[in-house]
Chains A and B, each alone.
Chain A
């Protein structure tokens, strides 16, 4: 039973109340929001039923079938992430992201995000290490959920582009242009980034310029989202890298004075 038209009418007041103009940025943004929602319905169905099968709700399944279904599940998760990124970029470009900036102590949240990704690192035989001083109870000014998203994206990236060795998260305080910042460093021993590419990695859809052999999946929205979300809360991100040697990503967040 798909009744998108009547459902859209019921949602109208939650998007734009302005008169409809198919070329306006608001209309395009609303369209992407609805499109993302409609794409998520079949993804939710796939995720839900597959998870029930994998949890044994439909009876026991042969090991080989389980392996295959697990792959389908992971594929669907990638689609979910892709749709999220697409929607996030439109929100960013339309300045529709709302920041709730407060004083936060990010230490525990960093550990939480690391724990969530530990399994992924283990599957790749990568060591995920935390090198935060015990005194790292530093306080920053940030939107907590957006900070978590930025950190998670950078850490995921580090794991994705590292095939052996380690990813180390550390932190320190530094003065940049006279302002005190808490800097979170994510250093990996991965494939690194060429000097030429390093200048562009935070640009939207930079991956589209890469040759097929340079591609590692992804459409090149992740670091663009990281950069823009950081700017939105007066944080800074940058990277240093040596090709075939590894990369270091820096997230600098305004410290509480």
Chain B
């Protein structure tokens, strides 16, 4: 394997963890929407924090670092549209995901409180889990990752 192949393999590994972690978070979040008890909501949101978020974190850093290394190695220019646009979108995805995560943390805290006090679903918890702003931020982050993948494959401006 050439250096380019090694770098690409590790860059793609980061991308799989980044986008795959995002997909896992989305699936677990959607299951929390349909959960019938606060204890189940709390557990599903905990799984996002313990499994999906670490995958996203490791994947985001790996894909960026190895991506920049690949730009140097393959002789791409930072002035090329798909290169700088992907870096900008990486920052946007991180910012949206972090803001969306705060909404989920709030829902998780309320779910854990209710789980310890009779474990009965309330309209407030349902509204917190289905909060349109929090979900728009989180799913917006996922959509941004999709745009990065599109840039990586089509390479506009190349």
Q: Do A and B bind each other?
A: no
Which residues from chain A sit less than 8 Å from chain B, CB to CB? Answer: none
Which residues from chain B sit less than 8 Å from chain A, CB to CB? Answer: none
